[in-house]
Amino acid sequence: DQFVGASLTGNLQRMIHLRRKVAIDCTNRKWGWTALMGAAGNGHLNCVRYLLSCSACINVQDKKSGWTALMLAARAMKLDIVEYLIRNGADIKPRTSNYQTVYGLGNKELVGAAIQRGLEARRKWELSLCQGANFNRKPLIKWDENDVRNWLKAIGCTFAEGCFKDNMIDGEALLDLNDQEIRELLPFDAFSCAKLMKEIKRLRLGHL
Per-residue model confidence as pLDDT tens for the chain (208 residues): 899 999 999 999 999 999 888 888 898 888 889 999 999 999 999 999 989 888 788 999 998 899 999 999 999 999 999 999 998 889 999 999 889 999 988 898 999 999 999 998 887 766 655 554 455 567 777 888 988 888 888 777 887 888 888 888 888 888 888 888 887 877 666 667 777 888 888 777 655 4
114: CB partners within 8 A, 6+ apart: 74, 79, 80, 82, 83, 86
Closest Cα to residue 88, out of 58, 46, 47?
58
Q: Both 104 and 44 in a single domain? A: yes
Q: Both 46 and 108 in a single domain? A: yes
Domain that holds residue 194: 134-206
Q: In the chain, how many domains are there?
A: 2
Q: What is the pLDDT of residue 69?
A: 96
Among 81, 101, 122, the domain-final residue is 122
Q: What is the CATH number of the domain that holds 165?
A: 1.10.150.50
Output b/e per residue, 61-84; b: 16+ Cβ within 10 A: bbeeeebbbbbbbbbbebbebbbb
The angle subtended at Cα 53 by Cα 49 and Cα 54, nearest 5°, is: 120
Q: Are 72 and 37 in contact (CB under 8 A)?
A: yes
User: Would residue 182 count as lying in a domain?
Assistant: yes
User: Would residue 170 count as lying in a domain?
Assistant: yes
What pTM value is reported for the model? 0.66
Q: Both 151 and 171 in a single domain? A: yes
User: Would residue 186 count as lying in a domain?
Assistant: yes
Q: Both 111 and 141 in a single domain? A: no
Output b/e per residue, 39-55; b: 16+ Cβ within 10 A: bbbbbbbebbebbbebb
Closest Cα to residue 95, out of 63, 68, 58?
68
User: Would residue 112 count as lying in a domain?
Assistant: yes
Rounded Cα distance, 127 and 133, in Å: 10
User: Would residue 43 count as lying in a domain?
Assistant: yes
Question: DSSP assignment, residue 158?
Answer: G
Q: Both 148 and 198 in a single domain? A: yes
Q: Both 118 and 138 in a single domain? A: no
Q: Both 13 and 95 in a single domain? A: yes
Closest Cα to residue 189, out of 72, 55, 84, 82?
55
Among 99, 122, 145, the domain-final residue is 122
Q: What is the pLDDT of residue 127?
A: 66
Could you tell me how many helices (H) and strands (E) the chain has, helices first?
12, 0
Q: Both 151 and 79 in a single domain? A: no
User: Would residue 81 count as lying in a domain?
Assistant: yes
Q: What is the CATH number of the domain that holds 17?
A: 1.25.40.20
